[in-house]
């Protein structure tokens, strides 16, 4: 009778906590109660086994979801910071500058050219931003506000009150050099013919709120921005589509 061969016993392993002998597939150490890494399958058990092979202390399986959440939070915060910086750097401020031109001194308005047709000149807008406008110190913004009295000029045009601030409607701004002043006066007479009130021409170099080097065609002298904005709407309705309210400071 043939005797069956005796199979060798499976090799013993060591408990990662206490070093006691354990057999393959054993779930817990019989000496210290440590759950053995070979008894589990999956990502978390494998990571737990790797931890226990290197360090004697293992906090528990809860450490892995906590660590994953921490990594995701750090990655989200880094992404938000990079996105905000990218959005800030993509916004660039474009500042339009114009060459500074010497403004010739004008002692009297230029002679009216009569029936000469208007010269087609490119419109140059003075700063239209109303964000920093402040009520002029010498005008009242409450009930009973008084309007600065403009001075009538020759040929029906109006001169801005000397030394006074206020609000007005800018109809057009033309470079003063190269015949721009005469073109501005012709534009002012067109506005008078259209029925706009108190039309005149300003030398922008004499007012701190305007860019120097321009002949500014204006209509009206108002104590408040609201009144000037209403007048600008009326001017646009009469064909002066580029009209806008503007503060004038000396």
pLDDT digits (tens, 9 = 90+) for 44-66: 677 777 777 777 777 777 787 89
Give yes or no for residue 192 having a pLDDT over 80.
yes
Q: What confidence score (pLDDT) does residue 115 get?
A: 52
Average pLDDT over residues 168-173: 94
Among residues of the chain, what percentage have pLDDT more than 90?
34
Q: What confidence score (pLDDT) does residue 32 get?
A: 84
pTM: 0.41
Q: What confidence score (pLDDT) does residue 124 get?
A: 44
Q: What confidence score (pLDDT) does residue 197 get?
A: 93
Average pLDDT over residues 176-201: 91
What residues form DSSP beta bridges with 170? 218, 244
On whether the CB atoms of residues 249 and 208 are closer than 8 A, the answer is yes
- Higher confidence at residue 36 or residue 163? 163
| Residue 141 binned pLDDT confidence (cut-offs 50, 70, 90) | very low
Give yes or no for residue 245 having a pLDDT over 80.
yes
Q: State the DSSP string of 67-121.
A: HHHHHHHHHHHHHHHHHHHHHHHH-----------PPPP-SSPPPP-TTPPPP--
On whether the CB atoms of residues 200 and 152 are closer than 8 A, the answer is no
* Domain ranges within the chain, ordered by starting residue: 13-80, 151-248
Average pLDDT over residues 151-170: 81
Q: What confidence score (pLDDT) does residue 163 get?
A: 84
What residues form DSSP beta bridges with 21? 14
Single out the residue of 245, 247, 188 nearest to residue 215, CA to CA. 188
Task: List pLDDT tens digits, range 13-22.
Answer: 778 778 788 7
Q: Please list, residue by residue across 67-97, b when 16 or more beta carbons sit within 10 angstroms of its beta carbon and e when fewer do.
A: eeeeeeeeeeeeeeeeeeeeeeeeeeeeeee
Single out the residue of 229, 216, 227 nearest to residue 188, CA to CA. 216
DSSP 172: E
- Cβ partners under 8 Å of residue 101, min gap 6: 175, 176, 177, 212, 213
Give yes or no for residue 139 having a pLDDT over 80.
no
Please check whether the domain covering 151-248 is classified as CATH 3.30.70.1070: yes
Task: Report the C-alpha gap between 180 and 185 in whole angstroms.
Answer: 9
Task: Report the C-alpha gap between 238 and 171 in whole angstroms.
Answer: 11
Average pLDDT over residues 119-139: 48
Which helix (DSSP H) or strand (DSSP E) does residue 200 occupy?
Answer: strand 199-203
Task: List pLDDT tens digits, range 65-108.
Answer: 898 899 999 999 999 999 888 877 655 555 555 555 555 555 55
List the single range of 25-39, 74-88, 144-158, 199-213 with lowest mean pLDDT. 144-158
Task: Report the C-alpha gap between 219 and 156 in whole angstroms.
Answer: 13
Task: List pLDDT tens digits, range 201-243.
Answer: 999 999 999 999 999 999 999 999 999 999 999 999 999 999 9
Task: Report the C-alpha gap between 103 and 213 in whole angstroms.
Answer: 5
Task: Report the C-alpha gap between 212 and 173 in whole angstroms.
Answer: 11
């Amino acid at each position: 009778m043939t005797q069956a061969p005796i199979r060798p016993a499976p090799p013993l392993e060591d408990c990662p906590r206490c070093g006691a002998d354990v057999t393959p597939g054993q779930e817990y150490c019989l000496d210290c109660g440590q759950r053995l890494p070979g008894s589990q399958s999956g990502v978390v058990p494998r990571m737990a086994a790797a931890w226990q092979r290197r360090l004697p202390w293992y906090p528990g399986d809860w450490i892995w979801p906590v660590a994953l959440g921490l990594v995701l939070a750090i990655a989200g915060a880094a992404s938000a910071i990079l996105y905000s910086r990218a959005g800030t750097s993509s916004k660039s401020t474009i500042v339009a500058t114009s060459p500074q031109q010497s403004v010739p001194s004008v002692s009297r308005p230029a002679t009216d050219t009569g029936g000469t047709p208007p010269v087609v000149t490119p419109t140059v807008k003075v700063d239209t931003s109303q964000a920093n406008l402040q009520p002029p110190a010498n005008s009242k913004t409450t009930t009973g506000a008084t309007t600065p009295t403009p001075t009538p000029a020759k040929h029906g045009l109006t001169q801005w009150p000397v030394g006074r601030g206020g609000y007005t409607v800018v109809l057009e701004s033309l470079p003063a050099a190269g015949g721009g002043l005469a073109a501005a006066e012709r534009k002012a007479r067109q506005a008078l013919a259209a029925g706009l009130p108190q039309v005149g021409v300003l030398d922008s170099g004499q007012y701190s709120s305007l860019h120097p080097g321009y002949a500014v065609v204006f209509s009206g002298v108002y104590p408040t921005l609201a009144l000037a904005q209403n007048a600008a709407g009326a001017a646009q309705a009469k064909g002066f589509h580029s009209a806008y309210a503007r503060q004038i400071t000396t």
